[in-house]
Structure 1
Amino acid sequence: MAGETDSGRPAPGPILARIAGAIGIATEGVAMSLGLAVVGIVLIVLGIKSIGAILVILAIPIALFFRDPERYPPRTENVVISGADGKVTDISDKPFPGSTGRLYHRVSVFMSPLNVHVNRAPVGGEVVMVEHTAGEFRAAFRDDANEHNERNLIAMTDPSGRMFGMLQVAGYLARRIVCRLRAHDRIQAGQRIGLIMFGSRVDHFFPAEYRVAVSVGQRVRAGESIIGAIDQ
């Protein structure tokens, strides 16, 4: 998966990445928002002002959707950081995806179209597996969405060998999951790892030895909010 999204599209090049960093939006949104704005301006110059104005106006909410602010974890040792912005919709104990073994804490975060959609690593360590599964596009807040919807599982281990999982789940509006990781990549807690477009959900799986540090209905921020911790 290096250099590609789950759908096999080429990853954004260095020029788009530099532009994205300069204007503070995710690379995937640069071509879309700037493209609309440029076409709109050209149409305005050519005298097709109404359509041009509409395109320029549309470029603004698209750019806002792909906004990518800097985030700074308060701490990274013995904690699990939220990988998504949004609202905690479910906390339960479930087997790790694809297994029937021991139970893990599962914390589900639903991202509305108004949330920042850049996903971040919940812990630091090594990526063990990245597995994309094609599926349906049901409402992401439904409990069975992680079994039927288009989804992408990232399994990772921390330096102590503990297993963690992050499941990117596409929602009713989402039609593309972006993951920038592959097996054996080294990651840092809070680093950008991808995004899901236009409303979606992220399920976090972490060992039972951690206590859950959030509650249902709580708002969290990717790369900053602690959702699990081992008390010192």
Structure 2
Amino acid sequence: MAVSMLSTFVKPVHREGWRFLGIFAAATLFLFLVWEPLGWVGVGLTIWCYYFFRDPDRVTPTRPGLIISPADGIVSLIEPAVPPEELGLGPTPMTRVSVFMNVFNCHVNRAPIEGRIASVAYRPGKFFNASLDKASSDNERNAIAIEMADGRKIAVVQIAGLVARRIVCDVSAGQHVATGERFGMIRFGSRLDTYLPDGVEPLVALGQTTVAGETVLADLTSNEPRRLGGVR
């Protein structure tokens, strides 16, 4: 029971976080030397830094056809949109599901479906609030196209936010990824867009909380109509 309780609160840290944890810890020590109350503020910020860079294991549904959320956060947009032109997926709009991550969410990103990385394209841009619609077209982004076994493609796009200044992508064209496999992260507050294949309806609702690697965004084998949600 003690081990289980410990694992609930203590999570692995993504490798991107160790440098920041060291900086925060050193600053905290300095603040204690200057004035003890400031040191305790530093302790709180160091804990937040650890929490931001946490990288917990997730239990991913593995049934073929399931499209899984690539990010923790809130479903902020569901709408038709043309995928980033740099991916070469054509001008036809696809259903875009946007998940907004705030600074308290886990920021490790995961592959929404199994397949081959068809292309990866980075594009510099601005740093508008990631919850805004124009962030998809104007902000710095890293777009990935995943080709499934049947030849259809899904696009997943990492979008930098207002305070995010680094997109990390650990996959490259030609690589095979499994559903729920880690492929990168974004520092500090951002958004993930997933573009669904034609005819596939999302199984999440606006405002719904998603868990990366666990929440089902859509099902390629389902004829269920788009889901609506209400606050209870």
For normalisation by structure 1, the TM-score amounts to: 0.82
2:78 to 81, 91, 101: 91
- Judge conservation of contact 1:41–1:53 (CA < 8 Å) in 2: no
Give distance in 1, aligned partners of 2:203 and 2:156: 17
Aligned to 1:24: 12
Give SS of 1:63's match. helix
Q: Does the residue aligned with 1:212 lie in a helix, a strand or coil? A: coil
Cα 1:52–1:207 change in 2 (3 A) is same
SS at structure 2 position matched to 1:30: helix
The Cα of 1:97 is off from its aligned counterpart by 1.9
Q: Which residue of 2 aligns with 1:81?
A: 68
Q: 1-side partners of 2:186 and 2:65: how far apart? A: 27
Asked if 1:61 corresponds to 2:51, the answer is: no
Task: Give the deviation of 1:53 after TM superposition.
Answer: 5.0
Find the counterpart in structure 2 of residue 14 from structure 1. none
Distance 1:191 1:106 in 2: 21
AA in 1 matched with 2:74: K
Which of 157, 162, 173 lines up with 2:152 in the alignment?
162
Q: Is contact 2:128-2:135 (8 Å) kept?
A: yes
2:59 corresponds to 1:72: yes
* Alignment match, 1:36: 24
Q: Paired residues, what number?
A: 209
Paired amino acid for 1:201 = R
What amino acid does structure 1 have at the position aligned with 2:77?
A: D
Equivalent pairs: percent with the same residue?
37
Q: Which amino acid aligns with 2:65?
A: N
Normalising to structure 2: TM-score of the pair?
0.82
8 Å contact 2:11–2:56 — kept in the other structure?
Answer: no
Aligned partners of 1:83 and 1:222 also within 8 Å? yes
Distance 1:26 1:147 in 2: 28
Give the 3 Å change call, closer, same or farther, for CA 40–113 of structure 1 in structure 2.
Answer: closer
Deviations 1:90-126 (A, max 9, x none): 1112233215433322100101111111100001111
Gaps of 5+ in 1: 1-21
Q: Is the 1:76–1:123 Cα contact (8 Å) retained in structure 2?
A: no
2:230 is matched with which residue?
none
Separation in structure 1 between the aligned mates of residue 158 and residue 100 of structure 2, nearest angstrom:
10
**Structure 2: gaps (5+ residues):** 1-9, 223-232
C-alpha RMSD of matched pairs (Å): 2.0
Letter in 1 for 2:82: P
